[in-house]
Amino acid sequence: MTDSPDATAKAADDATEDEEAARPTRSKATDELWEEVGVDPVEIALPRMVGYTLRAYRPASQLTPTEAPAPADEEDDPFAARERARAAEAAGISEAELAEEALQAENPELADTPDLTGDEEADTSDIEESEKTDESEEAEAPAEEVEEEEVPVFLSHRGRLLLFATPELLVSFIGSDAAHDLAQLDTWTTLVKRVTPDDIVPAEDDTYELDLVVENLRGGHDAWDLPLLISAGEVARDLGWALRLEPVITALATGSPLDDLDEALRTAASGGVGGMFARRRLRRIGAQQASLGWRTVIGKISAAVDWRD
């Protein structure tokens, strides 16, 4: 005898309640600490294991990410070198000249400006006077204050996310002098002095189960867990930007299939008439395509993780 839909839903609700009851509670002092330093502990579950890390949001002008490892040098690729040699030989020029032509083709502004001599010399006095006038007007015009957008930054180094198996390991690392991207925050010293393992309690909104995404999508439209998939999109975008993971950024870019899926999920979760139509849209999205796309995204993120266990 199979369970009724109501019984299944009740079982899922009970499981959720048990999970929330098992989650450690944060003290008032812990909440005040994270609010003061502008950093949050984050829990991320990946196919390999679950780990803890830190995330903050700051204006981009305040951040200087540690240099990521350079991609494989094309010079080390014998096939690319052979193709360059063939192209140069066919053009009857050296490889250096071929490279210079390619650079100028990609960046027209780098091309030399022809000298103006004799009758061809332009009278630039009017132009210079116009430029001075424009500069004067710009100086007199009041500067408009534009609020700078905040961007994510994680506990990472050289393009790799640092994930720790336990709060104790994370706090031990925080207290060390190891290099990482969060060390540049003006509140980092305060965090180092005050944080304890008891403070590593991620809020529900900062807990992400990426290990369940692909399996959930494969279960079909009726089984899709909207909050799970929406939160996965949020953290994946943050990680893609912070770690400079171009494949992840591209896969979730505006107008991509996974972005269309995310938009439909959010509309469906909002409810109402719009949510009803969004659920119809979701049924037109291929579960297989979505699961394959997310499998690639999670694979790229997992490959950029430095596990500390």
Residue 189: domain span = 28-63+151-308
Give the pLDDT band of residue 9 (cuts 50, 70, 90).
very low
Range among 54-58, 95-99, 146-150 with highest mean pLDDT value: 54-58
Does 32 share its domain with 179?
Answer: yes
Give Cα 26 to chain centroid, integer Å: 27
Q: pLDDT: is 23 or 236 the higher one?
A: 236
Give the pLDDT band of residue 126 (cuts 50, 70, 90).
low
Q: What is the pLDDT of residues 153-179, one digit of tens each?
A: 999 999 999 999 999 999 999 999 999
Give the pLDDT band of residue 79 (cuts 50, 70, 90).
very low
DSSP string, 16-43: HHHHHHHSPPPPHHHHHHHHHHTEEEEE
Q: Does 135 map to a domain?
A: no
Does 48 share its domain with 99?
Answer: no
Instruction: Please say if the pLDDT value at position 58 is more than 80.
Output: yes
Does 179 share its domain with 266?
Answer: yes
Distance between terminal CA atoms of the chain?
44
Q: Are strands 50-59 and 39-45 parallel, antiparallel or unpaired?
A: antiparallel
pLDDT at 160: 95
Specify the number of domains making up the chain.
Answer: 2
39 close to 185: Cβ distance less than 8 angstroms: yes
Q: Does 57 map to a domain?
A: yes
In three-state form (DSSP H/G/I as H, E/B as E, the rest C), the secondary structure along 231-250 is HHHHHHHHHHHHCCCHHHHH
Instruction: Please say if the pLDDT value at position 106 is more than 60.
Output: no
Does 200 share its domain with 233?
Answer: yes
Does 186 share its domain with 99?
Answer: no
Beta pairing partners, 45: 50, 209
